[in-house]
């Protein structure tokens, strides 16, 4: 697909208003409510004026748009001696994400692999199907970003239906999928093709964030494969408090828990909620035994899953380098420093062999 | 700084302790450090970025820290209240921990923020703090510090909320707690949340619904606030750790106000003074029984 358009800022506003008035859910980066900080979050917008195109990475990733923190799978009701099931009430409302960051859009394609693997997750794919993603070239990187180290970049179009690059008074848009083409259709004739479509230079953001972490994912994986038992794990996990903040802000973490919650004496709902591997409860058995007995074992699992097991099974790491886990950790756990250390050890081992 | 490093080195060399829980500089500001070798003591720092409450690492549920052996811990005046709480509630023995008190003139909210301390970046708890050093310590280090910048207007928001009518207040908290996804960072970082099995983790019955819907979130945060009433040391770590930036300190400070007005009790770093929740007095109010 090679459709390209110049879209003025006001034309894009028209598109957004059209989507909203057609009843679609439009998600975009907006200023966090009630925050004294300069923080953004992805949230539904009622007007294009609410959208913040620049500024830092939104606090939480886009994950919750496709995979909500809690959702009902089905309801049940006891009727005499049998049980009636109320089918899954989840609708898949048509959604357009405007201004997705490249690291968030890419994560959907990475997680698709596991969601469609041994069991096809209808809730995940139902919402994926109903969602169109307009990614914008990343406007802001900081010392916690490392997307180039995991094969992405501030201008990566992975997972995008449209990729928007800021240009004079608007954007140059690359339309990349059929879904993207369908969204463009009503405006296709009115919006001009760029005469000379050339990628804008993005103020050196790529080289800036590339300098934060220089490792090869395959080199990391090779070290991990041979170092399940290594003193490193005890050492790095000491400061970890064992909360789920890193996993919950992560665009790629996707573990969940399923609970039955009664609502009254004869009915209730089965819900699926986000879960995370750092709390001890995650692997606690009914017997009281916990196979991941300490924080070192739990932190090792986090790194192993993302940088060893996932690439071994699906061919790529479960990380887009957004750096949210680094920014959000109150204990100063730093994935960049840890991957750099593993990369260094791997190189040393490679040089020695 | 040298005083702190020399003391730490001596404690390790003389085998008085096995590990120093302190602060070190890292790629991104300051972070907790666990130093077991005398030769590494020059990594220790203490400055206005040392916001973390290291008393959290003393709690017995930190098995991986306990495994390092007898600790010495660097504590500010606010952190000392948490150490006192752990002693008072029989979580640690006074004699088994060496307390290195540091004089403090306030810290920034974000330990990666290296700009000078100002009213713009100061941790909210510090602007109204009048304790420059702990009363509970074995060693006290550092130069005397001046009072931190900022106005003591920290509770203005609390008073605003108290002035609201119940509907407005409910609306506010539905919005704020609606952002919670139950990562439990507030609990995990809290030095006083040391329960071996938190009520939020119990499943038979599930007293607190684990789903991050309004009912579950209200049950969780209100239960936690009540359990910490008169125990919360107001270190602000729950609020700092919250990835959703929910102002959780409002709940615990409201509870602290109630405890102060009802029982005349303010959390202190004297472990010998019992908390209202941990003691009984014949003149305790009991009008709710009748």
pLDDT for B192-225, tens place per residue?
999 989 999 998 888 999 999 999 999 999 999 9
Q: Do B52 and A331 touch (CB under 8 A)?
A: yes
Q: In what order do the strands lie in the sheet with A70-79?
A: A82-86, A70-79, A267-274, A256-262
Residue that is written with structure tokens 């960072």 in the block? B185
Which tops the pLDDT comparison, B78 or A353?
B78
The stretch B171-197 carries a mean pLDDT of 95
Q: Which of residues 164 through 203 in chain A touch B, CB cutoff 8 A?
A: none
Q: Which of A60, A339, A87 is nearest to A224 (CA)?
A: A339
Instruction: Please tell me the distance from the alpha carbon of residue B183 to that of residue B220, in angstroms, as a whole number.
Output: 12
Q: How far is A118 from chain B (nearest CA, A)?
A: 26
Contact pairs from chain A to chain B, CB under 8 Å: 113
Confidence band of A38 (pLDDT split at 50, 70, 90): confident
Taking phi first (over 0 means left), then psi (-120 to 50 degrees means alpha), and beta for anything else, what does residue A294 get?
Answer: beta
Q: What percent of chain B has pLDDT over 70?
A: 98
pLDDT at A199 exceeding the cut of 70: no
Taking phi first (over 0 means left), then psi (-120 to 50 degrees means alpha), and beta for anything else, what does residue A302 get?
Answer: alpha
Rounded to 5°, angle at Cα A274 from A273 and A280: 110
Q: Do B176 and A34 touch (CB under 8 A)?
A: yes
Biggest CA pair distance of chain B: 64
Taking phi first (over 0 means left), then psi (-120 to 50 degrees means alpha), and beta for anything else, what does residue B244 get?
Answer: alpha
Confidence band of A200 (pLDDT split at 50, 70, 90): low
Q: What percent of chain B has pLDDT over 90?
A: 80
Q: Do A144 and B183 touch (CB under 8 A)?
A: no
pLDDT of residue B157: 87
Strands (E), B36-138: 44-45, 71-75, 98-102
- pLDDT tens digit sequence for B260-284: 998 999 999 999 999 988 888 888 8
Q: How far is B52 from chain A (nearest CA, A)?
A: 8
Pairing of strands B29-35, A95-100: unpaired
Residues of A in contact with B243 (CB under 8 A): 59-60, 245, 248-249, 328
pLDDT at A7 exceeding the cut of 90: yes
CA B147 from centre of chain: 20
Residue in A44, A328, A332, A340 to test binding to B, most B beta-carbons within 10 Å: A332
Q: Which of residues 123 through 162 in chain A touch B, CB cutoff 8 A?
A: 143-144
Answer whether B29's CB lies under 8 Å from B63's CB: no
- pLDDT tens digit sequence for B118-157: 888 999 889 888 899 999 999 999 999 888 876 656 778 8
Tokens of A235: 């050492």
Tokens of B5: 């490093």
Q: Which of B57, B61, B84, B82 is nearest to B71 (CA)?
A: B57
**Cα dihedral A112/A115/A121/A122 (nearest 10):** 0
Instruction: Please tell me the distance from the alpha carbon of residue B269 to that of residue B231, in angstroms, as a whole number.
Output: 11
CB of A61 less than 8 A from some CB of B: no
CB of A282 less than 8 A from some CB of B: no
Residue in A closest to B182 by C-alpha: A244
Q: How far is B281 from chain A (nearest CA, A)?
A: 36
Q: Decide: helix, strand or coil at residue B223.
A: helix
Q: Say which range, A97-106, B58-67, B77-86, B143-152, has the weakest mean pLDDT.
A: B143-152
**Cα dihedral A46/A52/A56/A57 (nearest 10):** 40
Indicate the angle between helix axes A217-226 and A335-352, nearest 10 degrees.
80
CB of A245 less than 8 A from some CB of B: yes
Residues of A in contact with B213 (CB under 8 A): 70
pLDDT at A14 exceeding the cut of 70: yes
pLDDT at B229 exceeding the cut of 90: yes
Question: What single DSSP character describes residue A286?
Answer: T
pLDDT at A194 exceeding the cut of 90: no
- What does each C-alpha distance from B220 to A291, B168, B198, B250 come to in angstroms? 27, 21, 11, 15
Confidence band of A91 (pLDDT split at 50, 70, 90): confident
Residues of A in contact with B237 (CB under 8 A): 330
pLDDT of residue A216: 95
pLDDT at A35 exceeding the cut of 60: no
Which tops the pLDDT comparison, B267 or A204?
B267
Q: Which residues contact A211 (CB under 8 A, 6 or more apart)?
A: none
Residue in A closest to B245 by C-alpha: A35
Q: Do B211 and A248 touch (CB under 8 A)?
A: no
Residue in A237, A255, A299, A330 to test binding to B, most B beta-carbons within 10 Å: A330
pLDDT of residue A197: 54
Q: Which residues contact B255 (CB under 8 A, 6 or more apart)?
A: B225, B226, B228, B229, B230, B232
Residue A146 burial (CB count, 10 A): 27
Q: Which of residues 206 through 235 in chain B touch A, CB cutoff 8 A?
A: 206, 209-213, 216
- pLDDT tens digit sequence for A284-336: 998 999 999 999 999 999 999 999 999 999 999 999 999 999 999 999 999 99
pLDDT of residue A168: 83
**What are the backbone angles phi and psi of residue B225, rounded to the nearest 5°?**
-60, -40
Q: Say which range, A79-88, A168-177, A192-201, has the weakest mean pLDDT.
A: A192-201
CB of A279 less than 8 A from some CB of B: yes
pLDDT at A88 exceeding the cut of 80: no
Confidence band of A73 (pLDDT split at 50, 70, 90): very high
- What does each C-alpha distance from B125 to A70, A251, B65, B155 come to in angstroms? 33, 32, 27, 10
The stretch A180-200 carries a mean pLDDT of 85
pLDDT at A4 exceeding the cut of 90: yes
The stretch A49-60 carries a mean pLDDT of 94
Q: Do A39 and B245 touch (CB under 8 A)?
A: yes
pLDDT at A29 exceeding the cut of 70: yes
CB of A276 less than 8 A from some CB of B: yes
Residues of A in contact with B59 (CB under 8 A): none
Residues of A in contact with B40 (CB under 8 A): none
pLDDT at A58 exceeding the cut of 90: yes
Instruction: Please tell me the distance from the alpha carbon of residue B75 to that of residue B62, in angstroms, as a whole number.
Output: 18
Across B264-277, b (16+ Cβ under 10 Å) vs e yields ebebbbebeeebbe
Residue in A closest to B110 by C-alpha: A330
Average pLDDT, chain B: 93
pLDDT at B171 exceeding the cut of 60: yes
pLDDT of residue B61: 87
pLDDT at B45 exceeding the cut of 60: yes
Answer whether A99's CB lies under 8 Å from A166's CB: no
């Amino acid at each position: 697909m090679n459709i390209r358009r110049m879209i003025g800022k006001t034309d894009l506003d028209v598109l957004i208003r059209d989507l909203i008035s057609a009843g679609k859910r439009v998600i975009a980066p907006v200023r966090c409510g009630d925050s004294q900080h300069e923080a953004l979050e992805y949230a539904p917008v009622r007007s294009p004026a609410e959208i913040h195109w620049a500024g830092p990475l939104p606090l939480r990733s886009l994950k919750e748009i496709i995979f909500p923190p809690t959702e009902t799978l089905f309801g049940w009701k006891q009727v005499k001696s049998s049980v009636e099931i109320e089918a899954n009430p989840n609708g898949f409302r048509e959604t357009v994400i405007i201004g997705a960051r490249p690291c968030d859009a890419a994560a959907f394609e990475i997680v698709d692999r596991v969601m469609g693997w041994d069991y096809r997750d209808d809730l995940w794919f139902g919402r994926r199907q109903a969602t169109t993603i307009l990614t914008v070239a990343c406007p802001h990187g900081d010392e916690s970003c490392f997307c180039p180290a995991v094969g992405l970049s501030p201008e990566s179009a992975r997972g995008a239906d449209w990729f928007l690059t800021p240009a004079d008074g608007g954007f140059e848009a690359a339309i990349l999928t059929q879904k993207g083409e369908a969204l463009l259709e009503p405006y296709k004739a009115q919006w001009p093709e760029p005469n000379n479509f050339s990628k804008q230079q993005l103020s050196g953001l790529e080289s800036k964030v590339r300098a934060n972490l220089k490792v090869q994912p395959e080199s990391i994986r090779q070290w991990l494969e041979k170092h399940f038992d290594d003193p490193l794990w005890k050492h790095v996990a000491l400061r970890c408090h064992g909360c789920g903040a890193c996993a919950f802000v992560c665009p790629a973490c996707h573990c969940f828990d399923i609970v039955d919650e009664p609502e009254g004496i004869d009915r209730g709902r089965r819900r699926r909620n986000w879960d995370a591997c750092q709390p001890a409860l995650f692997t606690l058995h009914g017997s009281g035994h916990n196979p991941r007995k300490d924080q070192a074992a739990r932190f090792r699992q986090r790194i192993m899953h993302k940088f060893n097991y996932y690439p071994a099974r699906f061919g790529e790491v479960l990380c887009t380098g957004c750096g949210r886990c680094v920014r959000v950790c109150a204990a100063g756990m730093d994935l960049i420093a840890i991957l750099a250390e593993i990369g260094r050890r791997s190189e040393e081992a490679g040089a020695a062999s | 700084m040298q005083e702190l490093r020399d003391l730490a080195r001596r404690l390790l060399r003389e085998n008085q302790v096995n590990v120093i829980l302190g602060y070190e500089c890292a790629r991104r500001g300051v972070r907790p450090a666990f130093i077991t070798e005398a030769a590494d003591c020059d990594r220790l720092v203490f400055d206005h970025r040392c916001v973390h409450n290291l008393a959290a690492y003393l709690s017995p549920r930190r098995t991986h820290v306990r495994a390092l052996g007898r600790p010495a811990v660097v504590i500010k005046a606010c952190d000392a209240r948490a150490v006192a709480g752990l002693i008072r509630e029989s979580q640690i023995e006074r004699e088994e921990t060496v307390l290195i008190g540091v004089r403090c003139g306030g810290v920034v909210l974000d330990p990666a923020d290296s700009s000078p301390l100002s009213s713009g970046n100061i941790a909210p708890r510090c602007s109204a703090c009048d304790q420059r050093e702990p009363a509970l310590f074995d060693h006290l280090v550092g130069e005397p510090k001046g009072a931190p910048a900022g106005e003591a207007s920290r509770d203005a928001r609390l008073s605003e909320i108290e002035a609201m009518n119940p509907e407005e207040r409910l609306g506010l908290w539905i919005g704020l707690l609606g952002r919670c996804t139950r990562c439990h960072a507030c609990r995990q970082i809290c030095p006083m949340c040391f329960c071996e099995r938190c009520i939020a983790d119990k499943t038979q019955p599930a007293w607190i619904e684990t789903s991050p819907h309004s009912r579950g979130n209200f049950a969780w945060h209100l239960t936690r606030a009540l359990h910490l009433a008169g125990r919360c040391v107001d270190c602000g770590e729950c609020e700092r750790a919250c990835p959703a930036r929910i102002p959780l300190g409002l709940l615990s400070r409201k509870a602290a106000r109630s405890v102060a007005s009802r029982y005349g009790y303010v959390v202190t770093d004297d472990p010998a003074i019992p908390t209202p929740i941990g003691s009984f007095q014949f003149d305790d109010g009991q009008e709710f029984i009748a």
